[in-house]
Structure 1
């Protein structure tokens, strides 16, 4: 399917989201998959999915197999606009992907997920700006160009301290832990210990607890919006 024919299957309108230094644009496999896969691979160590051996595998299993068929989810390609001078491309360089998951138009909630930023762009403005753009679109009122959602979640392995710190830095608050939330793929080595019941139907697969953090509309209006704006505008 050509880029012109590809339509995100999402329960809300999908559009480009842009700050001074980062741009998010709907992930189109024919346009973005090869460029994304050519990057230094992001870590899949703490998540239930991946890694993927080829760009085609990434598209067929994650993008087309899990995200695109589900109207509760959407994926964006992340561009670092500060790389425009060296690439000669107005959008700059592709730096990874990020998206929404578990979105409900009925309950006005979503989760920021699929945070797959290449290591060469980590510890820069890219991740914070990408998260900030998704927060603004989700939590700003429709009169401000947003969706007016009431809650954004961030779900992560309790062992992934870097991800937890990144979420807290952007205003998310810890809410609790979902124990034994996922069965991990057989090759995953980081998860709940080997203690499982005799007769467990997936005894060769570790489990994963999930730490839940949340950022709600009242947090956003009270202080988090200003915090996020300050982080996004920081240049050092």
Structure 2
């Protein structure tokens, strides 16, 4: 069986706005989004575990947080988006494309920092879906998810979203003066249609009822 491909490199994301049912994604704009992000990521109601496995944070002062946002906004890889709750208009988190390699058709979703209002809600799932959908629409072959192997929350999220575990890179990094073994996950283009259908089923009005979901994302993916 031949592995030959009639290959055309993938397109590059341009940080265009992306709209979903629960959230919209916009390119990170520190001037417009910074106050909300400071409140949801560092304020009194923020998630105390948010920064445990990220290579930066928490931030003791607004000025250092603003410099971090400014640096993120200027970057093209990672390419940062703000997550805006459609009901309230509040910016409730950020995430990014990263490791963008269009000539090989691969990209990663990472640098995820969701405020407490996004966690255990359809909003975080929809944000990952929208970035995944655009990435594959641009012609990519592979979507990656990487996290500290000790980060049980991120590993559960990857599996729930439909990523396939590929292995652990031992002694991969030193982060905050601690060893990081990195767990690798992926979705490839052949798997994406079924994964996308699961997302769409789970996010639908029929499934998302006022009292909560009728079916889990995993069961939606299975059909």
Q: TM-score, normalised by structure 1?
A: 0.75
Task: Give distance in 1, aligned partners of 2:96 and 2:196.
Answer: 19
User: Which range is displaced more, 157-166 or 46-55?
Assistant: 46-55
Task: Give distance in 2, aligned partners of 1:52 and 1:11.
Answer: 31
| TM-superposed deviation, 1:103 | 0.6
1:26 aligns with 2:27: yes
Aligned to 1:192: none
| TM-superposed deviation, 1:58 | 2.6
Aligned to 1:206: 178
Secondary structure in 1 aligned to 2:55? Answer: coil
Aligned residue-pair number:
191
| TM-superposed deviation, 1:12 | 2.9
5+ unaligned residues in a row in structure 1: which ranges?
Answer: 1-9, 84-91, 141-146, 186-204
Task: Give distance in 1, aligned partners of 2:73 and 2:145.
Answer: 17
1:129 aligns with 2:126: yes
Secondary structure in 2 aligned to 1:126? Answer: helix
Task: Give distance in 1, aligned partners of 2:197 and 2:12.
Answer: 28
Contact kept? 1:19, 1:129, Cα under 8 Å:
yes
Deviations 1:4-52 (A, max 9, x none): xxxxxx9532200111111110001111112111114350101222222
1:162-201 equivalence runs, <5 A? 162-185=153-176
Contact kept? 2:36, 2:92, Cα under 8 Å:
no
What is the aligned counterpart of 1:77 among 76, 79, 82?
82
Task: Give distance in 1, aligned partners of 2:70 and 2:163.
Answer: 26
Aligned to 2:146: 155
Distance 1:40 1:51, change over 3 A: closer
Secondary structure in 2 aligned to 1:72? Answer: coil
Q: TM-score, normalised by structure 2?
A: 0.79
Would you tell me which structure has more strand in proportion to its own residues? 2
1:47 aligns with 2:35: no
Task: Give distance in 1, aligned partners of 2:174 and 2:197.
Answer: 38
